[in-house]
Amino acid sequence: MYDQRMPFMILGAAVGAAIALGSVWMAPRNDLAPLPAQAVGGDAAGGAGAVDAVGAGAAIDLSPVLRRLDEVAARLERLEGKVVDLTNVPDRAPVAGTSAPALLDADTVLAAMEAAEQKKLDALSDQQLLQEARRMQKGGDSAGAQQRLEALLQRALTLEARGRAQTELGMLLRSRGDAESVAAARSMFQAVVDANGLASELGSQAGLQLVWGDAKGDDTARGLAQAELLVNTPGVPAEIVRNARWACGILAQSLGDPVRARSEYETLLRDLQGQPGQEKLIEDVRRRLAGL
């Protein structure tokens, strides 16, 4: 396809060459002749040899150089004529029966990029998708992690695999903190509870996340009620019960009920006695009790 900038590119090259040679070509031809012997400087003792070498009678023959400059000048004149011809070429119309060249806009490029990304995700196994989502979230790429978890949830998964993916996506959304994301996270957690039951491992874990989802969404009273439900539901794993009671104390305290908070903390301390690996939780509860 004809590029209207081409004549100016060629002209630019020609101008550059002309400038480079201009100072030589435009100089008088006489300036290129060798200096006469008597014009060579130097004292009589030290410069005699130089004077004799230059003025020995054989002048330097510059005719080859001059002929070369004449050739360059002629080539520049021909190039200038071609540039003039190119600037006068009219715009070329498309040939009948041929399609116009396709124009790529931003939407087309974006769609192609999304298709390529989806193809890459489709090639990953369920476990690889989940691992990549965790890696990206750990690296601070929340959007990329969400995309992979959502892609995973589009697949036919077992009840357990779906529950884990929904819980992880809910935790990711809740961490953003805005009202829309927190509401979406709560829906994720509730779906896991409904599908698995509150007393199951997956259901109780999602139920505990619901507690903090409600608290994050400025519904502390509902979060406290959800924590109480976990504490009082038979079959909920002991670890979840302890964390739910801890949440009861924190939320009761935030609602201005220090008596209820103290009762929950003291009960929790009794339950934690002799439990290995609970040192950090015990320390936190004692600190909160001291602050009441």
Each residue of 103-119: pLDDT tens digit? 666 777 777 777 777 77
- Residue 288, CA atoms < 13 Å, CB-side half-sphere: 26
271 domain residue, yes or no = yes
Count up the domains in the chain and report the number. 1
Three-state SS at 153: helix
Strands (E), the chain: none
pTM of the model: 0.59
Determine the Cα–Cα distance for residues 234 and 242; give it in Å rounded to an integer.
Answer: 13
Determine the Cα–Cα distance for residues 14 and 23; give it in Å rounded to an integer.
Answer: 15
181 domain residue, yes or no = yes
Q: Structure tokens of 125?
A: 């196994």
Q: What is the model's pLDDT at position 125?
A: 87
User: In terms of residue numbers, what domain contains 252?
Assistant: 177-290
Mean pLDDT of 3-8: 49
Instruction: Count other Cβ atoms within 10 Å, centred on residue 45.
Output: 7
Q: What is the CATH number of the domain that holds 279?
A: 1.25.40.10
- Residue 123: pLDDT band (50, 70, 90) is confident
Determine the Cα–Cα distance for residues 209 and 173; give it in Å rounded to an integer.
Answer: 12
161 domain residue, yes or no = no
pLDDT tens digits, one per residue of 179-232: 999 999 999 999 999 999 999 999 999 999 999 988 887 899 999 999 999 999
Picking from 259, 270, 268, the residue whose alpha carbon sits closest to that of residue 292 is 259
Q: Is 219 exposed, middle or buried (0-12, 13-18, 19+ CB in 10 A)?
A: middle
211 domain residue, yes or no = yes
Mean model confidence pLDDT for the chain: 78
- Residue 16, CA atoms < 13 Å, CB-side half-sphere: 6
